Amino acid sequence: MEFQASAASRNIQPSATLKLNALVQEMRAKGHDIIGLTAGEPDFNTPEHIVDAGKKAIDDGYTRYTPVSGIPQLKKAIVDTLLKDKNLLYENKNILVSMGAKQALYQALRVILNPGDEVLLPAPCWLSYQEMITMCSAVPVPIHTTAEQGYVPDIESFYEKYTDKTKLILINSPNNPTGAVWGKKILTEIAEFAKDKDLLILSDEIYEKMVYGDAHHVSIASISDDAKERSIIVNGFSKAYAMTGWRLGYSSGNEKIIAAMDAFQSHAAGCPNSIAQHAAVEALNGTQKPLYDMVQVFDRRRKLMVDLIKDIPNVSCFEPEGAFYVLLDISPCIGLKCHDTPISSDMDFAHLLLAHNRVSAVPGNSFYAPNCLRLSYAVKDENIVEAMKRLKEFVLSLE
């Protein structure tokens, strides 16, 4: 029989990151020496005490279904952490544990949005946001920012993009792909705008622990009681605790919205992994030294990559303050040729860089960042040095 995908699924674009990762793995299998800068995960193992807690959960027989919203001891650990780290007072009923922050984001969008609703989306932004919004038959409305702005939007742009169809603001700080960390001023302005227009806020704070230098993470829910009431905060364990494969995230916020997400999850997925939940309790309650040590390494790599980029002609970057990415501006290279092949887009640049100099990077267009590449520094120092050497050789070869 001939299969025809549903109208909704036909509009979904596959993840550019995962597609490139698959290509890199295929080339490596053929013996090519590829340096991958596409990673969206720490290159560290899960800390031993967290792994041990997972093993103990198996040994103790915690291998059955749990409550859909998560085990009480993990929800309590999340509540305690939110109070300690952000001065946010929640109860267990305000928490939903899910199979990763990505699922939490999608579930929040599904219970908030109706077809035709508009979502204000500061950009550049993570490539899955726009696809998730589209999957809800809603409309992403990008609010573009520039490196000159530090990739921080101005509040006037929100008012300019607002219509009577606007339902939600989706923000992400520290930001993927720019590494920008938003300060209290713009977050206060966004909170006041949301109150003025009676909008909800979805805040992706998965990179909150990855901040460097003088930057500090501020949760928009901590701005005011009103901001807290209209905000859903999404976080998880993948980045801070190197637990990407454990697939565990959580949402905190308005009790009615959390309850709706809980109901959605009960039918769409069920409960999160029982073993991962017990490990996550230890992640939050146990020593934070592995997290501190990892952040110090990322900070060193961040400085290394930025310094090496400064020595490459025709490219530039904003110095990131958080996460583990550099957004590389390759605008001067667009229109040049690589061995007689014209470069007309960041996608062309990325594929030619991979083909000729064996470095993989994610094209920026998927992030609403045309003529840019996202480079991850979640790789060893020596790979950063070699990758930047190859990138420089590639750029110098263009005509």
Per-10-residue mean pLDDT of the chain, 399 residues long, equals: 81 74 84 92 98 99 98 99 97 98 98 98 97 96 98 98 99 99 98 99 99 97 98 98 98 98 97 99 98 98 99 98 99 96 96 95 96 98 99 98
Q: Is 191:201 a contact under the CB 8 Å cutoff?
A: yes
- Are 65 and 99 contained in the same domain? yes
pLDDT of residue 5: 83
Which CATH number belongs to the domain containing residue 393 in this structure? 3.90.1150.10
How many other C-beta atoms can be found within 10 angstroms of the C-beta atom of residue 225? Answer: 8
d(CA 187, CA 194): 10
pLDDT of residue 348: 95
Final residue belonging to a domain, choices 251, 285, 319: 285
**Three-point CA angle 213, 218, 224, nearest 5°:** 155
Radius of gyration for the alpha carbons in the chain, expressed in angstroms and rounded: 21
- Are 368 and 273 contained in the same domain? no
Q: How many domains does the chain have?
A: 2
pLDDT of residue 7: 78
- Are 110 and 199 contained in the same domain? yes
d(CA 68, CA 96): 8
Which CATH number belongs to the domain containing residue 126 in this structure? 3.40.640.10
4 occurs within a structural domain: no
- Are 257 and 316 contained in the same domain? no
216 occurs within a structural domain: yes
d(CA 394, CA 285): 47
pLDDT of residue 298: 99
- Are 189 and 243 contained in the same domain? yes
- Are 235 and 138 contained in the same domain? yes
2 occurs within a structural domain: no
Q: Is 335:5 a contact under the CB 8 Å cutoff?
A: no
321 occurs within a structural domain: yes
- Are 167 and 92 contained in the same domain? yes
210 occurs within a structural domain: yes
pLDDT of residue 15: 72
Final residue belonging to a domain, choices 223, 252, 285: 285
pLDDT of residue 291: 98
- Are 72 and 135 contained in the same domain? yes
Q: Containing H/E element for 17?
A: helix 16-29
1 occurs within a structural domain: no
Q: CB within 8 A of 65, min separation 6: which ones?
A: 270, 271, 274
- Are 123 and 238 contained in the same domain? yes
Q: Is 256 exposed, middle or buried (0-12, 13-18, 19+ CB in 10 A)?
A: exposed
pLDDT of residue 287: 98
Q: Is 158:169 a contact under the CB 8 Å cutoff?
A: yes
286 beta partners: none
Final residue belonging to a domain, choices 224, 258, 285: 285
- Are 133 and 69 contained in the same domain? yes
3 occurs within a structural domain: no
- Are 280 and 349 contained in the same domain? no
- Are 109 and 252 contained in the same domain? yes
pLDDT of residue 3: 86
Q: Is 363 exposed, middle or buried (0-12, 13-18, 19+ CB in 10 A)?
A: buried
25: containing domain: 11-40+290-397
d(CA 172, CA 208): 10
Q: Is 149:197 a contact under the CB 8 Å cutoff?
A: no
